[in-house]
Structure 1
Amino acid sequence: MRALIVSAFTSLDGVMEAPGGEEGYRNAGWTFNQIPVEDATFEIKTREQDEAQALLLGRRSYEAFAPVWPQMTEDFASYNTMPKYVVSSTLREKDLVENWGEITVLRSVDDVARLKETEGGPIIVHGSATLGHQLSEASLVDRYHLLVFPLLLGAGKRLFSGADKDATRLDLVEHEAYGNGVQKMVFDVVGAEGS
């Protein structure tokens, strides 16, 4: 069973929307505009790229990343060459970019569950708040890689859904606090099959 890892930048109050500066959001760019950059903070991002063997995205994150990441040949070299999967009920194969390697459209979280049963290494999810909620609610997430920024952003898409569901226990397996106030927290989902 392949491990499914959700990776996110999040504020202390759980907002994950627009960390890099996407338009249309009041606090856009909060990861770099409001917190001093400390290179050590992003070590986990390099490690993720080295360890992941597939990238899983929701439609909106795919549409945001696909025009940009293929041109970032140094920063995203591994992501650009690994297989990518986009979960969408509306995206058509003909709408996929042609310069980003192998891309497969999955139509549901059931398709993600089947993907997890295939041979291969970890599958990583970036962005994709709506997809992350669906994966969590379907008990498909095995691990969370979180960079928690010392900010309260208020409005915005949240990392975790507000669904009324049974509690999910997490096991903290890695933690580090950086001088800029950012904390790295890596949690395994207790009882998850791929953990």
Structure 2
Amino acid sequence: MRPIIVTEFISLDGVVDSPGGGDHPRAGWTFKEVPFVAEAYEIKGSEQLEASAMLLGRVSYDEFAPIWPTMEDFAEYNAMPKYVVSSTLNDPEWNNTQVLRSLDEVAELRQGEGGPIIVHGSATLAQGLAAAGLVDRYHLLVFPVTLGEGKRLFDGNATGTLKLVDQASYDNGIIKAVYDVEH
């Protein structure tokens, strides 16, 4: 079985909306409102090296596909298989991308051979995966900001217990929290 890992930049009040840009009124809050400390982002490099595939929702795919292929920092992600859960996307242009039409297809992918599958952004997809019992781990960088409104990682439809397996705090107030989902 391939573990599914949801990785998010998340505000202290649980919002994951528009951390680097987007439609939220405070879009880019991760970089505009919190000083950069390189150590806080080391988990992002290790995620890219450990993942064997990336899973995205349609909105995140539409945001990432035009930009990430041009970024040398994402060379491993650009080379690995990518899966987009969408009922409307046809003929994805990002290399090595396949469309999955349902969470049942995600469950089949998870049961296959290979390493971890990483889910970036994709709040709605992450909520659906959690409700279906398909999330195995969360990598959260918790930022010392409250946004009040926006897409949230946890919508109240999934229940369960999380076990803290790694943690760190940084001088800029970011907290790394890595949780395994106890199934």
TM-score by length of 2: 0.98
Specify which of 127, 149, 160 is matched with residue 121 of structure 2: 127
Structure 2 residue 163 is matched with structure 1 residue 171? yes
Report the CA distance between 1:69 and its aligned residue. Answer: 0.3
Q: Which amino acid aligns with 2:78?
A: N
Cα distance in 1 for residues equivalent to 2:134 and 2:21: 29
Correspondent of 1:101 among 91, 95, 103: 95
Q: CA shift at 1:101, angstroms? A: 2.2
The equivalent residue for 1:41 is 40
Unaligned segments of structure 2, at least 5 residues: none
Identity of aligned residues (%): 59
1:50-61 equivalences under 5 Å are 50-61=49-60
The match for 2:88 is: 90
For 1:101 and 1:62, locate their aligned partners in 2 and report how far apart those are by CA, in whole Å.
Answer: 12
**Aligned residue-pair number:** 183
How big is the alpha-carbon RMSD for the aligned residues of Structure 1 and Structure 2?
Answer: 0.8
Q: Which sections of structure 1, spanning at least 5 residues, go unmatched? A: none
Instruction: Output the CA distance in 2 between the equivalents of 1:177 and 1:9.
Output: 14
Other structure's SS at 1:49 match:
helix
CA shift for structure 1 position 162: 2.6
Match of 1:12 in 2: 12
Q: After superposition, give the CA deviation of every residue in 1:59-117 in whole Å (9 maximum; x if it has no partner).
A: 00000000000000x21010000000000011112xx11xx321110001000000001
Partner SS for 1:75: helix
Aligned partner (choices 143, 149, 168) of residue 149 of structure 1: 143
- TM-score norm. by structure 1 comes to 0.92
